[in-house]
Structure 1
Amino acid sequence: MSTIDGLPAHILLVHLVVVFVPLTALALIVCALSPAAARRAGLALPLLALVTLAAVPLTTDAGEWLERHVDRTDLVRRHTELGDGLLPWAAGLFLLSVLVWWAARRAAGGGRPFSAALRIGAGVLCAAVAVGAVVDVYLIGDSGAKAAWQDALTGSGTEGGEGH
């Protein structure tokens, strides 16, 4: 995908990633820490994570198209390198979401509950992957903003100085 209604698709699709990765990360942590929340979320948790996972390569592919149509600066290269690292985080969110959903379903069906140590370990792993994914999205977004806007603002468009 290259453009949507004349705009580079990447600048539109990136909003899916910016919203869905933190939302999925938060939902994963809540459901990992609260079996009741995981039961209530049901299949919505892994489906949300699947949408998140699908949004990442779509956005990355659109970004690669855009990269070929802009000046290749160090900032653009940095953004591209960071963007290439998000897919494993999104895959981790998806896999852990499926595991949390499966564990909640198993417990609701009368299966033997997991040990406290296993639940704590799973919660720590979910939190680590969730935080890693959100931090990565932040770093990617920050580098993309710098690549797009560095040297673009001259200050001549503000009347009366900053804050006016």
Structure 2
Amino acid sequence: MEPEPRPSRDYFDAQKAFSGSHQASDDEDNARTAASSSSAPLSLLLIPSLKEVIADDSRGSIFQTVANSLMDMERSKPGSSELLVTGLLQRLASSNETSLKDLQELASRIFAKGKIETPATNVEIDNKKKQQNKELHSNANMSPLARFLLSRKCQVLTSYSTSPYPSCQQKHLPGA
């Protein structure tokens, strides 16, 4: 008597991919996906962080269970993911617990770094606007049509090579 053929590994992988930890229906999956995609805190913060933390979950059951719970929470109470993240941040900031000091310092450094980078980009934007205003004043004696044609000529020249015209440098063009 021949042994019965065993299903291939691909069969089990496909079966595992199609079966969630709770055998959720397509409607539930669609509702969870909609809840996840409509919530930035859920789709951009919580779910990716969960994937990183539970990267060694070989079967994915822990990840699936927690992710489904978060998506169900967001679906039943829209905005709850944002409230969860807000609550975590507020509790972290106001806690006097010594075991959270390292997390508080990390959060302070991360948020301070973001605040330092923001003014630098604002300065760059202001400088670009000032340069554009200078160019507009230097071309004030030109008609609007001449300014338009010059700007198009500058765009063509800078896209193919370095322009011999100082006003046609790539960094000074509007939208560049």
Q: TM-score range by the shorter chain?
A: under 0.3
Higher RCO (CA 8 Å, separation ≥ 6 residues): 1
Larger radius of gyration: 2
TM-score, with length taken from structure 1:
0.22
TM-score, with length taken from structure 2:
0.21
